[in-house]
Chain A
């Protein structure tokens, strides 16, 4: 059965302390892996899409990478405003996105 697992469930960092979030998936026929950020009480906000193993994308302090079985979201020198839940969502066919339960990131000043 197709599954998505995100780790850790929660991560507390000091401002400036870099780290990585993991998204591992078992899937046949991956058609893109999406990363979203979700703030409390709001809908997910799109960050990145990765389509093939080896692909990388960057946005400010975030960099997403993709292998055949997992994706990483690297956070460099995070700031308190980066605190949020980060969701990954592999897409298995043209319309089906399977979301992980997320990593809740808390960055302390």
Chain B
């Protein structure tokens, strides 16, 4: 069973389009995250949700909107895609937000290419 899954794995689209990436975790974790990994391989946190509540919202354009319908799902919707949005997007989850059981488990990533 896949612990953290993302769909799609690859996404190629034109500038200006709107797209969504879906993430699901079957680990029973309370906290979920979205990260962006750029061409230099830096992983940068974008958002974090704890029990469907937004707790981290980094400096991310408001074209990016996360949605958590339940604590097992965290989707990422991107409006008006730009060339600079091309990257690999990773979803992750962790059991809780602090303490010794906060290991993050990552999904396989979604490679977004904006043409």
Chain A residues within CB distance 8 Å of chain B: 31-32, 34, 36, 41-46, 49, 51, 85, 87, 89, 91, 94-102
Contacts and interface: CB of A to CB of B under 8 A. Distances in A.
A44 B31 contact: no
B85 to A, nearest CB: 19
A101 B43 CA distance: 7
Nearest to A45: B106
Interface of B: 4, 31, 33, 35, 40-45, 48, 50, 55-56, 90, 92, 97-98, 100, 102-109
Contacts of B56: 95-96
Given A42-B108, A43-B90, A49 B103 contact: yes
Given A43-B4, A96-B56, A49 B108 contact: no
Contact of B109 (A42, A97, A98): A42
A4 to B, nearest CB: 9
Contacts of B92: 43
B45 A96 contact: yes
22 contacts: A31-B98, A34-B103, A36-B106, A41-B109, A42-B109, A43-B4, A43-B90, A43-B92, A43-B106, A43-B108, A44-B43, A44-B90, A49-B102, A51-B100, A91-B102, A94-B98, A95-B48, A96-B45, A96-B56, A99-B35, A99-B44, A100-B42
